[in-house]
Homo-oligomer: A and B are copies of this chain.
Amino acid sequence: MLNFEFCSPTHFVFGKDTEAKTGALVKQYGGTKVLIHYGGGSAVRSGLLDRVEKSLTEEGILFETLGGVQPNPRSSLVYEGIDLCRKTGVDFILAVGGGSVIDSAKAIAAGVLIDGDFWQYWETKTPVPASLPIGTVLTIPAAGSESSHNSVITNEKTMVKRGTTGQCLRPKFSVLNPELTFTLPAWQTASGASDIIAHVLERYFTNTEDVEVTDRLCEALLLTMVHETPRVIENPTCYEARANIMWAGALAHNNVVGVGREQDWATHALEHELSALRDVTHGAGLAVLFPAWMEKALPHNPKLFAKMATRIFGIENTGDDTETGRLGICAWRDFFHTIGMPSTLRELGMKEEDLPYMANRLMLKKDGTFGNFIPLTPADAEEIYRACF
Q: Which residues of A contact B (CB under 8 A)?
A: 1-16, 18, 178, 209-214, 216-217, 219-221, 223-224, 227-228, 239-241, 243-245, 247-248, 251, 256, 259-260
A-B pairs, top 5 by smallest CB distance, nearest first, are A3-B15, A9-B9, A216-B220, A210-B240, A220-B220
Q: A239 — which chain B residues lie within 8 A by C-beta?
A: 1
Q: Is the CB of A221 within 8 A of B216?
A: yes
Q: Is the CB of A14 within 8 A of B213?
A: no
Q: Is the CB of A12 within 8 A of B1?
A: no
Q: A216 — which chain B residues lie within 8 A by C-beta?
A: 219-221, 223-224
Q: Is the CB of A243 within 8 A of B260?
A: yes
A14–B243 alpha-carbon span in the complex (Å): 31
Q: A248 — which chain B residues lie within 8 A by C-beta?
A: 213
Q: Is the CB of A227 within 8 A of B240?
A: no
A1–B1 alpha-carbon span in the complex (Å): 33
Of the residues B12, B16, B256, contact of A5 by C-beta under 8 Å: B12
Return A208 CB to nearest CB of chain B, in Å: 10
A15–B10 alpha-carbon span in the complex (Å): 24
Of the residues B8, B210, B214, B217, contact of A8 by C-beta under 8 Å: B8
Q: A14 — which chain B residues lie within 8 A by C-beta?
A: 1, 3-6, 259-260
Q: A210 — which chain B residues lie within 8 A by C-beta?
A: 240-241, 244
Q: A6 — which chain B residues lie within 8 A by C-beta?
A: 11-12, 14
Q: A7 — which chain B residues lie within 8 A by C-beta?
A: 9-12
Q: Is the CB of B213 within 8 A of A1?
A: no
Return A171 CB to nearest CB of chain B, in Å: 11
A213–B10 alpha-carbon span in the complex (Å): 19
User: Are A11 and B5 CB-contacts (below 8 A) given A228-B212, A251-B256?
Assistant: yes
Q: Which residue of B lies closest to A178 (CB)?
A: B1
Q: What would be 7 A-B contacts, judged by CB atoms less than 8 Å apart?
A: A3-B16, A5-B11, A12-B259, A213-B228, A213-B244, A216-B224, A247-B260
Q: A259 — which chain B residues lie within 8 A by C-beta?
A: 12, 14, 247
Q: Which residue of B lies closest to A209 (CB)?
A: B240
Most chain B CB inside 10 Å of its own CB: which residue of A2, A227, A243, A259: A243
Return A150 CB to nearest CB of chain B, in Å: 18
Return A200 CB to nearest CB of chain B, in Å: 12
